Structure 1
């Protein structure tokens, strides 16, 4: 009904809005509990649970569900499609957010967070794929996903500001309303996605050629009902031909993904290695200390020696600075490149975290020492927002072959949620038991991050999703296919024109 009206720039902007709000939910639900979990009204509602593991278990329960659903997406992601997975995720978050805001016990809030975690996994596994595959130019892909990731960090900062404002109150609304807000966002994201198509690459992958052609023509703004205008646009024919050739190459038996190839990859297109990198780079991302900071930021600043009010205020300011760092990523991700940005920012983060560890290990801290420890997190969060949010989230889905992109994206998100659970659950306990020594762990992973990117991550900046195959293929593996591609494209053109 709306096909002729929702196309070209309007279609891409609506997709950007829906996906950005979806990512905002992920950041918001990760941060909102951290802002209210230490307040008296929240603890009164859930019965003041004892034990050092209860609050970390509540905080991390959503990540276990997300890890399970990430595995599930590897199986059902392709049949369902990117669009339907995002819609399902928003439905689950809407239901889970309402239940969570109405909770009066630990089991009830854990069940609600499990539903939200499952919904978040459906969204985050598919949003980077969706935006990457809806881009019609290689230079659009990086900024589009960077905008989504900036929205994620906006969600984190927003959750702390909302919690900071509402926790000045002493009634049950002080924590229930901030948690319920995620359902409002999920309704907005889900409704807008309902009016959007799936990606042209997914349609072609599922042999739904006519719908793929229609979506491409809508992206280029030439679709008119009953008129196959895409035949008259060379760019559309070239893009379709490139996708179809790529699908044929990936379908060859030697490029099939197997469990063995993930461990020891001998495929010409290095399919297993690319899936493995997707998992590792996002696993490293979550081990660099950010989850401990986001979930327990208020507690961290309180233990540095600040009052409860100042700890909440500075936590909100620090996460706002992180969001501001993500703004820098949008104009630089294509100009500087993913690889160089990750190496540069990872090096600066290592330096900042080293200072933070040293200052927190001092036994007799002064006020100056405490404030210095708190302030050094600001540049750390700024550079993390610039380099280690948008770039890794984009890198995994864009390096995976089209036929296995849903697996590459889900593998990356499995890395996110497995290591998020480890850092949130173990980190929450460690903050109470081992104190400042816990920060040695993320310090080591910041060093590992720089080394891993240098040796294992070629830069896909400026290349189309189909051209990225050449970055990972064995020497000469694609030579024959590239020589044949022009001929195959001409054949596709002839078939299209004769039709």
Structure 2
């Protein structure tokens, strides 16, 4: 196949693009339900979640059912991601991604053809299982298959495509809004995402396996071939030998014995510390409150801000286009500005956005111009979130986890991301019904706390090899030292610390 001839940057780009299709499915499926909730054809099929034509106690009851229907997808994603704690290491990165794609295909087919709410809910869970697997394994696979200097761009490419999926979903649904009395207006948008799942499943097995996973399974010769392709050199070259030696060293402690595979171990590689950081950054990202808008923007604009159905969808579509542009900016910034600064600035920006939305929402009933003014801060939120909090947490978790526990840590962190995503989707309708504008204040406080936590505890990983990041944590004696050590540690320390003496001498002579 043509993929067999790819080497170097072209191979890395194709690996990134195939993975990006998985995340495009993730973004698309996460947003597709938003535009369906106010379609006549959709609520006619599922009247139990029709809050547009309900009032009082009936509306409250249907809001709860609606929230569960939308949010149950996140539970499927959480379970799918968590299962990769075992599958990611057992099957390998590629085969786990392939399995996730197959499950997603089954879920999408069922989700596009239900006639009862129970069928629709089960289908969303199955689709979530596959999508959750993508989010747990794809960033890890790309991180392990990319060079340090462009690893951030390659992983953030997934986020760029994920938001592209949200844009496609928003505008496709807008076009079909005008045929909303026909079931095609909601069945076709759901079925359309099958394209992305098919692309992933048909391509992934033709790409090379992660060289770091191969080394961890003692398949060193295969890892050398893969490293040679990724570096566009021979499998027995000096660069490949140095890379293999560094990876093998990262699997052992100072006495030469294998390091712990327990992600919660209190050991020299600080597994527990790193696991907490990986899970924490994903929880804080979701608790920024951005998915209030992603899941319910059409409903908010139409029922709370008083816009028509057409105008609401145009605004939602424009928000997603803006988010797509900002995700592109993130791809440019990630390896220039770094992960830490983007996390910090995004948390601060989200705090400001939520504070202003709370203030404006509190006076909308008496001042209709506040509805228009609030749109500015929806756009502000969609500026900061894709730059620093959308895919950076997934990537950061894969970067800081030791190779021995990377599969487990990325699975748990992705699962935590989805579980708190579920929390937002589940409670938002009830939250707005019960406390109104004060609901935004919850996320103001959380984002302010995230700003402080990122400043104190999250070290920079920009430009570091995965083995150098290991060294940062090994040298840390407490969580408060990690940020300082990351600033002080020289770059490429792993080559000097782990290279075999003979290889290093040859390297120096050639230099």
Q: Matched residues in 2 for 1:416 and 1:363: separation?
A: 32
- Residue equivalent to 2:509: none
Partner SS state of residue 249, structure 1 = coil
Q: Which runs of 5+ in 1 are unaligned?
A: 223-228, 495-499
**CA distance 1:156–1:250, change in 2 (3 Å):** farther
C-alpha displacement of 1:463? 0.6
Q: Please list the CA deviations of residues 158-177 of structure 1 after superposition, one character each: whole Å capped at 9, or x if unmatched.
A: 21111111122120000000
Partner SS state of residue 117, structure 1 = helix
Q: Matched residues in 1 for 2:466 and 2:494: separation?
A: 15
Q: Please list the CA deviations of residues 252-272 of structure 1 after superposition, one character each: whole Å capped at 9, or x if unmatched.
A: 7795254763xxxx3111111
Moved more, 93-102 or 245-254: 245-254
Whether the 8 Å CA contact 1:45–1:103 is kept in 2: the answer is: no
Q: Please list the CA deviations of residues 412-457 of structure 1 after superposition, one character each: whole Å capped at 9, or x if unmatched.
A: 1121111011111011322233322211122112112111111110
What are the residue-to-residue correspondences of 1:168-179 with 2, within 5 Å? 168-169=178-179, 170-179=181-190
Choose the corresponding residue for 1:69, options 80, 85, 88: 80
- Residue equivalent to 1:245: 249
**CA distance 1:323–1:221, change in 2 (3 Å):** same
C-alpha displacement of 1:25? 0.5
- Residue equivalent to 2:19: 19
**CA distance 1:4–1:61, change in 2 (3 Å):** closer
| 2:276 aligned with 1:276 | yes
| 2:39 aligned with 1:39 | yes
Choose the corresponding residue for 1:157, options 164, 167, 171: 167
C-alpha displacement of 1:315? 0.9
- Count matched residues: 481
Q: Please list the CA deviations of residues 46-87 of structure 1 after superposition, one character each: whole Å capped at 9, or x if unmatched.
A: 244463221111111111122223222212220111111111
Q: Matched residues in 2 for 1:346 and 1:365: separation?
A: 31
Q: Matched residues in 1 for 2:428 and 2:70: separation?
A: 11
Q: What is the CA RMSD across the aligned residues, in angstroms?
A: 2.5
C-alpha displacement of 1:9? 3.0
**CA distance 1:238–1:253, change in 2 (3 Å):** closer
Partner SS state of residue 366, structure 1 = coil
Whether the 8 Å CA contact 1:157–1:323 is kept in 2: the answer is: yes
- Residue equivalent to 1:327: 328
Give the alignment's TM-score, normalised by structure 1.
Answer: 0.91
- Residue equivalent to 1:400: 401
- Residue equivalent to 1:106: 117
- Residue equivalent to 2:67: 56
Whether the 8 Å CA contact 1:74–1:410 is kept in 2: the answer is: yes
Q: Matched residues in 2 for 1:371 and 1:200: separation?
A: 52
Moved more, 5-14 or 266-275: 5-14
- Residue equivalent to 2:214: 203
Whether the 8 Å CA contact 1:350–1:447 is kept in 2: the answer is: yes
- Residue equivalent to 2:55: none
Partner SS state of residue 191, structure 2 = helix
Q: Please list the CA deviations of residues 341-379 of structure 1 after superposition, one character each: whole Å capped at 9, or x if unmatched.
A: 211222122112211110001264323211001222102
Choose the corresponding residue for 2:97, options 86, 94, 118: 86
Q: Matched residues in 2 for 1:6 and 1:347: separation?
A: 42
**CA distance 1:421–1:252, change in 2 (3 Å):** farther
Q: Matched residues in 2 for 1:70 and 1:250: separation?
A: 33
C-alpha displacement of 1:249? 2.8
C-alpha displacement of 1:489? 5.8
C-alpha displacement of 1:472? 1.4
Q: Matched residues in 2 for 1:460 and 1:218: separation?
A: 25
**CA distance 1:4–1:158, change in 2 (3 Å):** closer
C-alpha displacement of 1:10? 3.0
What are the residue-to-residue correspondences of 1:188-227 with 2, within 5 Å? 188-222=199-233
Q: Matched residues in 2 for 1:363 and 1:487: separation?
A: 64
Q: Matched residues in 2 for 1:433 and 1:487: separation?
A: 61
